[in-house]
A and B are shown apart, each in its own frame.
Chain A
Amino acid sequence: MLESVLVTIATAATPLLIAAIGELVVERSGVLNLGVEGMMVMGAVTGFGIAITTGSPWLGVFAAILVGAAFALLFGFLTLTLVTNQVATGLALTLLGLGVSGMIGEAFIGLPGVKMAPWVIPGLSDLPVVGRFLFAQAPLFYVSILLVIGVGYFLFRTRAGLTLRSVGDNHDSAHALGIRVIGVRYAAVLFGGACAGLAGAYLSLVYTPQWIENMTAGRGWIALALVVFASWRPWRVLAGAYLFGAVSIGQLHAQVIGVSVPSQLLSALPYLATIAVLVLISRNRRLTMVNTPACLGRPFVPAR
């Protein structure tokens, strides 16, 4: 019982984790990308479509990453090169992604999907309780954990990561030092978009291997909240993703057990938890001030 609960929590947490870790990098560079939901849903529809036409879930995954990055490139071109408002642009891209994915996906509705086979590690997967949770998961589960480790190491142990954080902290100073602010931000935005696309592919190739319109169902927004919840720290994103995953799974289990709570209220639980966490976080000013990228959402226009 516990083992299967852990496995389902991981299934719910992984897409949140992948999208959030990408957005964390974006926000650490000082850009607020509210288009995560749109990039995710585009990744989901592309991943699904390529996987069923080619029969290869891996090609679907790569296509999803590319489409997520392409959407992010559009976001970058608008907000970084043309210096449009980041909030409005992100919202517009979310709406665009939801619309375009619905249009592309019309042909896919009801088709059987291709499920990505799990990687079962012999021996270890037979461990009690954690065996199936840690060692018999879809490949993207391992990718999500590697992403957290990689991003944590990159941000706090490498020079490039230091450069990225400096751009998010004070872009004018970074520019004065000769750092190419816009270049760094493009790279971060592309990475974030690729992660969002990957998270979308997880939904349509692992979580529920089929296409349902609007199948991200607000997970992009939860990922955004998660970055704040984690105060821009990769390991806390991991913890937060599993917490939110547990909340959404707990909701399903409560229904099974027969707890008589309206299902609409239960589905709203993750969002309520997000709001509660946001309130708690914003009360602790030290927590946010030390970690918050000071230039978050501020457009950069170098004077020439």
Chain B
Amino acid sequence: MTEVGAGVDQRHEGEGGELLEVRGLTKTFGALKACDAIDLSIGKGEIHALLGENGAGKSTLVKMLFGALEPAAGEIRWKRRVVAIQSPGEARRLGIGMVFQHFSLFEALTAAENIMLALDDTTPILQVAERARELSKAYGLPLDPFAHVGDLSVGERQRIEIIRCLLQKPDLIILDEPTSVLTPQEADRLFETLETLRDEGKSILYISHRLEEVKRLCDRATVLRHGRVVSHCDPRRETAASLARMMVGDEVDTVKRVGSVDASGQSLLEVKGLSRPAANPFAVSLREISLSVRAGEVVGIAGVAGNGQGELFEALSGEALQDKAGAIRVRGTDAGRLGISGRRLLGAAFVPEERLGHGAAPQMRLSENLFLSRHVTDAGAFVGALGTVRSGALANAAARIVEAMDVRKGGEDPEASALSGGNLQKFIIGRELDRQPAVMIVNQPTWGVDAGAAARIRQALIDLARSGSAVLVISQDLDELFEICDSVAVMHDGRLSAPVPIAEATFEKIGLLMGGATPERAEPPEKAETA
């Protein structure tokens, strides 16, 4: 290791003068090696990508770098000195800042209070607010210091995180999947900010599984798979396909969209003028939502998180009832006043966003979870004469679903929480598909699911539609919607746009709608974005 003075050569390549050097870093959880002898080095003024599938060990690795987890083995060298980072506070003192994927903000506090908590000095709150405002102007990240975080959009929350991180004057900034919650336009603005920071000599560790943005932004990349480093490479010299191969290992099946939609198909899900006031201060009210999903069709609903998608799902699934029975019709029957089971009996099926605690009871076995969602619709099969549970039939059905969706699990009938996110999601989707529902409504079908499982789920949804069902997919992942949908509508601030046929949809067009533009006047949505 040659000692080269850092600072002069800001964008240096290769060896020497590294800001951060990690060797043989290992972390085990029980039998699982989440990180296995990871090597990583980051130079000054470099944007370094950390690539990998969900569960590849990225988050575990950065948590060790940030002092939130303790490594089982290996060493971390920071500015050429071996350090043991015991706590996030210590990481911050060393000059390592982090912007979390699931934000570490306090919703009941204001932006300025949130920022103040992360600063070690005892600056008065008004000065903190002023400094935050200056910094936010300098980096083009508009921010109101006195707004309560609970009232802000995800993009705005991320800005607070970034400003908070910058106020600590870190040398290394770790960003964990920063664009997963942003509109394409918001992401562009973030990239500009990051490039400015790099030009100022800051180093950035950029965690992502979006290959295009890594190729665009990053100087070097480290690819993880199953907790091991697969490759150190220059993402600019790689193709998206070659990076994907490194991440996933073998080629992932691409989703095939077969056949076209029969335009005369009968409308199986009909929503007319659906409005719903916000149930609590942090919820979004739904305004005059209308949509229709025909047999054979997959309709997508795009939108930045927190624009009413969750509220719409609750209204559609029957967790929240409507005042007018006709606001929601399933297969021609008014369903607005029916509860979840009533709507299921009409042939609808629902998969909520949250897998554990909403889609499945974490501490119950798979077969029990199957029973929970289908004891009404399949009472004949699963419930005995005296109201007893027919466990044999349940076990058979569970096995059939596991087989059909390729759910990988340990044990015969494990608890839902014992499955990985992707496998549990496959089971939950499979549980509904197994009924051959006429109407399928899914919220975030592949959130936090690895590529293999995601492809399988998407294909299953397309196949269901092509077999004559109506499928509605709510998702924040535009790639996913473009891959499987026949048309895409966009939610913004509780309103739903008219659907855009997939042939006419572009990322830019949908992105503008996500920012609040109307289709007629698709101007850059400066104002709506900060609203």
Q: Give the residue name and chain of the B residue nearest to A158 (CB).
A: B122
Q: How many angstroms from the CA of A294 to the CA of B107 in the assembled complex?
A: 9
Closest CB in chain A relative to B230 CB, distance in Å: 26
B490 close to A (CB within 8 Å): no
Closest CB in chain A relative to B105 CB, distance in Å: 6
Q: Give the residue name and chain of the A residue nearest to B120 (CB).
A: A178
Q: Mark B105-125, 1 if CB is under 8 A from A, else 0.
A: 111110001001110001000
Q: Mark B393-420, 1 if CB is under 8 A from A, else 0.
A: 0000000000000000000000000000
Instruction: Give the residues in chain B near A169, CB-CB below 8 Å.
Output: 106-109
Closest CB in chain A relative to B147 CB, distance in Å: 13
Instruction: Give the residues in chain B near A293, CB-CB below 8 Å.
Output: 108
A283 close to B (CB within 8 Å): no
A165 close to B (CB within 8 Å): yes
Instruction: Give the residues in chain A near B98, CB-CB below 8 Å.
Output: 176
**In the complex, are the beta carbons of A162 and B108 less than 8 A apart?**
no
Q: How many angstroms from the CA of A179 to the CA of B66 in the assembled complex?
A: 14
B28 close to A (CB within 8 Å): no
* Stretch from B87-95, B232-240, B242-250, B521-529 at the A interface: B87-95
Is chain A's interface secondary structure helix, strand, loop, or mixed overall? helix
Q: Mark A158-172, 1 if CB is under 8 A from B, else 0.
A: 010011011001101
Q: How many angstroms from the CA of A179 to the CA of B92 in the assembled complex?
A: 12
Instruction: Give the residues in chain A near B106, CB-CB below 8 Å.
Output: 165-166, 169-170, 173-174
A289 close to B (CB within 8 Å): yes
Closest CB in chain B relative to A169 CB, distance in Å: 4
Q: How many angstroms from the CA of A153 to the CA of B486 in the assembled complex?
A: 58
Closest CB in chain A relative to B482 CB, distance in Å: 34
**In the complex, are the beta carbons of A177 and B107 less than 8 A apart?**
no
Closest CB in chain A relative to B32 CB, distance in Å: 14
**CB neighbors of B among A258-304 (8 A):** 285-286, 289-291, 293-294, 303-304
B391 close to A (CB within 8 Å): no
Q: How many angstroms from the CA of A303 to the CA of B60 in the assembled complex?
A: 11
- With beta carbons under 8 angstroms apart, the residue of A163, A291, A294 that contacts B117 is A163
Q: How many angstroms from the CA of A161 to the CA of B246 in the assembled complex?
A: 49
**In the complex, are the beta carbons of B104 and A303 less than 8 A apart?**
no
Instruction: Give the residues in chain B near A179, CB-CB below 8 Å.
Output: 89, 117
**In the complex, are the beta carbons of A166 and B280 less than 8 A apart?**
no
B31 close to A (CB within 8 Å): no
B376 close to A (CB within 8 Å): no
Closest CB in chain B relative to A46 CB, distance in Å: 37
A236 close to B (CB within 8 Å): no
**In the complex, are the beta carbons of A178 and B107 less than 8 A apart?**
no
**CB neighbors of B among A208-252 (8 A):** none
Q: How many angstroms from the CA of A169 to the CA of B478 in the assembled complex?
A: 33
- With beta carbons under 8 angstroms apart, the residue of A159, A170, A176, A286 that contacts B280 is A286
- With beta carbons under 8 angstroms apart, the residue of B69, B89, B116, B280 that contacts A303 is B69
Closest CB in chain B relative to A85 CB, distance in Å: 16
A132 close to B (CB within 8 Å): no
Instruction: Give the residues in chain A near B104, CB-CB below 8 Å.
Output: 170, 172-173, 176-177
B447 close to A (CB within 8 Å): no
**CB neighbors of B among A56-83 (8 A):** none
**CB neighbors of A among B237-281 (8 A):** 279-281
Instruction: Give the residues in chain B near A289, CB-CB below 8 Å.
Output: 280-282
Interface centre among A165, A176, A289, by most chain B C-beta atoms within 10 angstroms, is: A176
Instruction: Give the residues in chain A near B280, CB-CB below 8 Å.
Output: 285-286, 289
**In the complex, are the beta carbons of B118 and A177 less than 8 A apart?**
yes
Q: A162-B116, A179-B117 are in contact. Are A173 and B281 (CB under 8 A)?
A: no
B191 close to A (CB within 8 Å): no
Closest CB in chain B relative to A39 CB, distance in Å: 27
- With beta carbons under 8 angstroms apart, the residue of B116, B118, B281 that contacts A286 is B281
- With beta carbons under 8 angstroms apart, the residue of B107, B116, B282 that contacts A170 is B107
**In the complex, are the beta carbons of A285 and B279 less than 8 A apart?**
yes
Q: How many angstroms from the CA of A176 to the CA of B106 in the assembled complex?
A: 12
Instruction: Give the residues in chain A near B103, CB-CB below 8 Å.
Output: 173
Q: How many angstroms from the CA of A269 to the CA of B106 in the assembled complex?
A: 39
B68 close to A (CB within 8 Å): yes
**In the complex, are the beta carbons of A177 and B108 less than 8 A apart?**
no
Closest CB in chain A relative to B100 CB, distance in Å: 7
Instruction: Give the residues in chain A near B88, CB-CB below 8 Å.
Output: 175-178
**CB neighbors of A among B38-82 (8 A):** 66, 68-70
Q: Give the residue name and chain of the B residue nearest to A285 (CB).
A: B280
Closest CB in chain A relative to B280 CB, distance in Å: 5
Further 11 A-B residue pairs, CB within 8 A, beyond A286-B280, A289-B280, A304-B70: A166-B109, A169-B106, A172-B104, A173-B106, A174-B106, A175-B88, A176-B104, A178-B90, A179-B117, A286-B281, A290-B148
Pull 24 A–B residue pairs with CB atoms less than 8 Å apart, ordered by A.
A162-B113, A162-B117, A165-B106, A165-B108, A165-B109, A166-B106, A166-B113, A169-B107, A170-B105, A174-B106, A174-B117, A175-B88, A176-B68, A176-B88, A176-B100, A177-B88, A178-B89, A179-B89, A285-B279, A289-B281, A290-B150, A294-B107, A294-B108, A304-B70
Which positions in A face B, CB cutoff 8 Å?
159, 162-163, 165-166, 169-170, 172-179, 285-286, 289-291, 293-294, 303-304
